[in-house]
Amino acid sequence: MYLVIFGPPGAGKGTQAQYISEHFEIPHISTGEIFRENIKNDTPLGVEAKRYTASGNLVPDSLTNAMVRDRIQKADCSRGALLDGYPRTIDQAREFDKMLAEKGSQLSAVINLKVPDGEIVQRLSKRGRSDDNPEAIKRRLQIYHNQTEVIVGYFRDRGLLHDIYGVGNIQEISKQILDTLDKVTHKNEQHS
């Protein structure tokens, strides 16, 4: 079962990803972690990524795709994975579809944690980090919304997107996500 989780900074993706990962016994894969790991270990992909990040440039899709492809080939992904931070573009989504097809698999579902901007500003302001002032948070939210609007629509059009309201009790949100994914799993098993 291959899954993707979306949500703005402070939506609780990390917390919910942990529940999903444990429930389905699949690894939680964050593109940020993949980048850091490749750079730290001086892999050929990491060396190339470092050239971009050191000069303040975005890592190109081709390199991000290569890192994700490499990661999902590992043994712990034989039953699937939960991706966080990927895909971010339609081109990446199409490439991800190809990667999964090569493995004889496909994307099962996309969870979209929806949290009102005002709630996000409140949550992140409480963390006390220097870059968590309300103006900076609002800028980050605007960037997030601009970046994800198209890709969320892409997955919605394909019938893969499941919006989950991410405000309230953490366990209740988790139960809602897991119930949704259990239904998807059951439906997919009936069609195979």
**Domain annotation for the chain: domains and CATH numbers:** 2-27+79-185 (3.40.50.300)
In the predicted structure, residue 192 carries a pLDDT above the cut 70? no
Query: What pLDDT was estimated at residue 190?
Result: 62
- E strands, 21-175, are 28-30, 81-84, 107-114, 161-165
Higher pLDDT among residues 136 and 6, named by residue: 6
Average pLDDT over residues 109-119: 96
SS3 of residue 179 by DSSP: helix
pLDDT tens-place string over residues 135-167: 888 888 998 888 888 999 999 999 999 999 999
pLDDT tens-place string over residues 79-93: 999 999 899 899 999
Average pLDDT over residues 92-102: 96
- Confirm if 110 and 93 have CB atoms less than 8 A apart: no
Query: What pLDDT was estimated at residue 188?
Result: 65
Query: What pLDDT was estimated at residue 132?
Result: 74
Query: What pLDDT was estimated at residue 125?
Result: 86
Average pLDDT, the chain: 91
Average pLDDT over residues 97-115: 96
**Pairing of the two strands 28-30 and 107-114:** unpaired
Average pLDDT over residues 38-43: 93
Higher pLDDT among residues 8 and 128, named by residue: 8
Spell out the residues 6+ positions from residue 114 whose beta carbon is closer than 8 angstroms to its own: 7, 11, 163, 164, 165, 166
Angle between helix axes 61-72 and 44-54 (nearest 10 degrees) is 150
Average pLDDT over residues 3-27: 94
Entry pTM: 0.89
- Confirm if 119 and 11 have CB atoms less than 8 A apart: no
Q: pLDDT band at 59, cuts 50/70/90? A: confident
Query: What pLDDT was estimated at residue 177?
Result: 97
